[in-house]
Amino acid sequence: MMRLKLKILLSRKSLNKITLFPFFLSLLFSQISFVNELEARYGTSENEYNYSEIFFDSRLILQNTDFMIEGLLSIEQSSPPEIGLDEKGLRKFSLTYYTDYWSVELGDIYQTWGRGLILNQADYQNLDFDTGSRGFNFMWNKNNHSINFIYGDTSISHSTTVLGNYNTRSPNYFINQSIYGLDYTRSLNNLNYGISLLSIENENNSNKHLLTNLRFEKFYNRGEMYFSFAHKESEINTQKNDRGNGFYFSNINFSDKWTFVTNYRRYRFDIQNPVNKGNIVNNHARALDLQQSPTGYYQHNFKLLSRNSKQVNLNDEVGIELELARSFKNSNTLVINYIKSSSTTGWHFDENSDWQREPLTTTFGTSNSLFPTNDKDSYPYDEIFIELNGYDKSQNIFYSIGFDFFYDTFAVLNNSDTREAFEFNKAITLPLLVNISLNEIWNIEMQIEMQRAQKGFELKNENQSSFSSIFNKKYQYNNYLSISANFKQKWTFSLSHERTNADESLIGDGSDIIDLSNSWNSFSIGYKFDSDDSLQVFYGSLRGGLDCTNGVCRYIQSFDDGLRIDYTSNFN
């Protein structure tokens, strides 16, 4: 009898488990969400700019009342990629456990401390730039106190002319580093302050770096103020003899119609003479790839202007940025942006033809240690950009019209008492963009840019000055036109034409030096199957040049008379 009761009791418990298991199982799965994205890209051209890429990214989120688990997985099949090295298999992964007050992350980690001045980990696949670390991250946040600990290994690659086998598409210089650091942030009403400590060890050699950062942020009714100071001490060949620092300040003030922005930066992490300035291989104490200026130069959306973008030099630069914005009726805005920068040090030849620093003085205005200068031996840069944009009264037409002038001395070749030689680039650009919503079915956009540029050398021999252009013409004229039409938010048709009377890529390749004119034409058609799937087919040519993303720049070669196919699909 006891055995029968025990069997009945066990059978009831088993029945309850069997009954409750699907309930808990359904409850568990009701808290899980998936986000998946597939991207396939193919390209082939006459100048052998060929690539074949497949990317698959998957994100899993398990949500619970007490915790959350997030998993990320990225797989790549590229042979060859558009830019970078061949990839086959797992590219990125991470697993993170979150609670109300703390989190733990394993895998590929991306963090930003001090708005990037001490740590800025990013992945710009279009530039083959990845500063993420594979390792461990712990964060704790409670009662306005935040602590962040990171440990991991980074693998960073570059394409540099310093080494052999240089290729604009694939890297030839690789850096492996181990990093570990601690960041603390405190929030008090409208005030935030923080301190960071970051240690980096190079696995390629015995070099070590120690970075510290102090930052302060204040919010008030009509704006905000922020400053960040970073100090770096490098141990090169077991000797602690290289120190550098950087300072960044930003202030924003606004009213109902006006906004005024002031940015100031002064970076002296690794000052080098004009010969060694761009040597990323042997300048072991230079600013690290993990660092990035919070803001630097204006990031343009127009085609011709974006090619003249400039990257902040964390090693040796002082600069200011002033921006004034005024809003009007009908969502119209006027923006005036002015940027001026230079190195903190000037350079000249001594009697032995060796580069020496220009002596700094204490007289206000004659030293560029604290403020940018116009002296050519200090790489001066000036840019003013004016833009007016907004809508018409019907809100069916959007326009953006601008004016841009910049002058950039990017190379100091000679500077002695009798001879001077500087390489520069300057241009005036007039951009225009108009977007018209004809009706609920058709939308048309047109973009026009006209540019007059001058590239060459400013020479001085004794008391005689001259200019020598890199072209056989005094001015380079660039024109860009694009027209696109969108039909029912499904179809997109685009035409583009770009032309120049002097293409620098033709110099020295054996072509007729008399005629350097060139043009690039393209046509593309896109179709959106639904909100998650789209296809784009491109045929034509694209001009090469500088490509920048959030202050990180890289030269991209031209794409000549080729076909590109892009397919994207999101499925959950």
Instruction: List, for residues 82-116, the tens digit of each pLDDT value.
Output: 999 999 999 999 999 999 999 999 999 999 998 99
Q: What is the pLDDT of residue 361?
A: 45
* Whether residues 409 and 342 fall in one domain: yes
Structural domain includes residue 58: no
Beta strands in 328-463 (DSSP E): 333-342, 347-349, 355-357, 381-391, 397-415, 419-437, 442-461
Closest CA to 475 of 449, 452, 450: 452
> Whole-angstrom Cα distance, residue 92 to residue 15?
44
Whether 494 contacts 506, CB under 8 Å = no
* Burial state string for 368-403 with b = 16 or more CB within 10 A and e = fewer than 16: beebbbebbbbbbbbbbbebbebeeeeeeebebebe
> Whole-angstrom Cα distance, residue 145 to residue 97?
19
How deeply is 157 buried, as exposed, middle or buried, from its count of CB atoms within 10 A (0-12, 13-18, 19+)? middle
Sorting pLDDT into bands at 50, 70 and 90, what band is 3? very low
Average predicted confidence (pLDDT) for the chain: 88
pLDDT in tens, 42-86: 999 999 999 999 999 999 999 888 889 999 999 999 999 999 999
Closest CA to 509 of 560, 448, 468, 441: 560
* Whether residues 432 and 402 fall in one domain: yes
* Whether residues 393 and 512 fall in one domain: yes
Structural domain includes residue 92: no
* Whether residues 107 and 170 fall in one domain: yes
Q: What is the pLDDT of residue 369?
A: 79
* Whether residues 285 and 309 fall in one domain: no
* Whether residues 215 and 244 fall in one domain: yes
Could you tell me the CA-to-CA distances from 450 to 389, 413, 432 in Å, in that order?
18, 31, 9
Whether 113 contacts 122, CB under 8 Å = no
Please compute the mean of the pLDDT values over residues 172-199 and round it to a whole number. Answer: 94
- Peptide bond before 431: cis, by omega within 30 degrees of 0? no
Could you tell me the CA-to-CA distances from 152 to 70, 87, 107, 111 in Å, in that order?
19, 21, 9, 12
Number of domains in the chain: 3
- Phi–psi pair at 351, nearest 5 degrees: -65, -15
* Whether residues 214 and 328 fall in one domain: no
Reading the block at residue 505, the tokens are 């890529």
Q: In the chain, pLDDT over 90 holds for what percent of residues? A: 66
* Burial state string for 111-147 with b = 16 or more CB within 10 A and e = fewer than 16: bebbbbbbbbbbeebebbbbbbbebebebeeeeeebe
**Domain span at 491:** 305-528
Q: What is the pLDDT of residue 368?
A: 67
Structural domain includes residue 198: yes
Structural domain includes residue 544: no
Sorting pLDDT into bands at 50, 70 and 90, what band is 363? very low
Structural domain includes residue 218: yes
* Whether residues 187 and 318 fall in one domain: no
> Whole-angstrom Cα distance, residue 539 to residue 521?
9
* Whether residues 447 and 513 fall in one domain: yes
Place of tokens 């007490």: 66
* Whether residues 200 and 316 fall in one domain: no
Give the distance from CA 216 to its chain's centroid.
Answer: 24
Please compute the mean of the pLDDT values over residues 266-273 and round it to a whole number. Answer: 93
How deeply is 75 buried, as exposed, middle or buried, from its count of CB atoms within 10 A (0-12, 13-18, 19+)? middle
pLDDT in tens, 322-354: 999 999 987 899 999 999 999 999 999 888 888
pLDDT in tens, 461-516: 878 889 898 888 889 999 999 999 999 999 999 999 999 998 887 776 544 456 67
Beta strands in 67-130 (DSSP E): 68-78, 87-98, 102-109, 112-113, 119-120, 123-124, 129-130
Structural domain includes residue 561: no
* Whether residues 158 and 253 fall in one domain: yes
Reading the block at residue 530, the tokens are 């639904």
Q: What is the pLDDT of residue 417?
A: 85
Structural domain includes residue 48: no
Q: β-pairing, 191-202 with 208-220?
A: antiparallel
* Whether residues 408 and 323 fall in one domain: yes
Structural domain includes residue 363: yes
> Whole-angstrom Cα distance, residue 378 to residue 368?
8
